[in-house]
Chains A and B, each alone.
Chain A
């Protein structure tokens, strides 16, 4: 659906915008997770077929002509994986932040530039 596709792209870009402008480490990760959500919405939008339902054979969907009635199951499967991976990455990022804070008592990304050039 085009409206959800636009929404997904908008969230993706807002997420990037946050990563590029926010100084707070946690906000940067929030930006990352917003971008992630946007990506997932984009993926599901691409798998949607107009007027069709979930790819689960039950009372609503007949096993015989299921092919004509369901949306694409592959993007769903991909997004499932992507969501879990997103969580994993976010968790590791946050534990980095916790440790960084422990060492440096700062959440500003500007305070972590001792390595350069």
Chain B
């Protein structure tokens, strides 16, 4: 009983904490200085139409590297916790129809995923979204029991090597003294082209591969692999 009252009071307290944010909220009219710099910089300096992408991959590239690492840690952590040798496996009896359909679907999904992350600098979406799409393809494979002997080591290789390559690109920036994770190690190219915006598409593709393989690992571990 007392506990309920305390819970209630604490919820009221939380509301009180956020109340001034609501009552005194003023919607911003214009971009602030930093955001203005980003929008201009993205267009003119980095040649990247998708400003969010240039922020993620370049200006806040260290965050993204960290983010990939967080996901990597989650993969490793989940694997570490569940030890991989789970006794139960998802048993979904797959019909022939499902199997066939899904194998076609998987291929299409993969292509879509790759498209999304290679076009991250041009259109909405990028490495993360593309990665998830790839992972969902694998998920489908997992569920429909197609090729259930999923080669785990290939997944590991992709995961490790894409991460390593990501760091490698960062270091290249250091070596060329343009700065860690700078996209300027490659020429800018034409604004709006697929191969433009310096190393941004390359980095985002690596992020896509890494995220895709990491998410797949999580799914495989959680879902119960052989």
Contacts and interface: CB of A to CB of B under 8 A. Distances in A.
A80 B14 CA distance: 25
The 5 A-B pairs with the shortest beta carbon distances in the complex, nearest first, are A88-B74, A55-B51, A57-B49, A77-B55, A73-B51
B11 A73 contact: no
B25 A5 contact: yes
B38 A92 contact: no
Given A85-B70, A91-B218, 7 more contacts: A12-B18, A17-B7, A49-B31, A67-B39, A81-B56, A91-B74, A92-B74
Given A55-B39, A81-B63, A72 B32 contact: yes
Interface string A84-115: 11011101101110110000000000000000
A48 B15 CA distance: 22
Contacts of B191: 63
Contact of A81 (B11, B18, B21, B64): B64
Interface of B is mostly: helix
B78 A92 contact: yes
A115 B63 CA distance: 37
Contact of B67 (A50, A56, A57, A81): A81
Interface residues of A, number: 45
Interface of A: 1-2, 5-6, 9, 12-13, 16-17, 20-21, 48-50, 54-58, 63, 66-68, 70, 72-74, 76-78, 80-81, 83-85, 87-89, 91-92, 94-96, 98-99
Interface of B: 7, 10-11, 14-15, 18, 21-22, 25, 27-32, 34-36, 38-40, 42-43, 49-52, 55-56, 60, 63-64, 66-67, 70-71, 73-74, 77-78, 81-82, 123-124, 128, 191, 211, 218, 221-222
A89 B74 CA distance: 7
B38 A73 contact: yes
Contacts of B39: 55, 66-67, 70, 73
A94 B221 CA distance: 12
A70 B31 contact: yes
A99 B22 contact: no
B124 A56 contact: yes
A63 B43 contact: yes
A32 B58 CA distance: 31
Nearest to A50: B27
Contacts of A98: 81-82, 222
Given A20-B7, A66-B43, A77-B55, A88 B50 contact: no
Contacts of A68: 30
Nearest to B76: A92
Contacts of A17: 7, 11
B50 A55 contact: yes
A84 B52 contact: no
Contact of A80 (B11, B35, B56, B74): B56
Contacts of A66: 39-40, 43, 51
A17 B173 CA distance: 47
A80 B57 CA distance: 12
A70 to B, nearest CB: 6
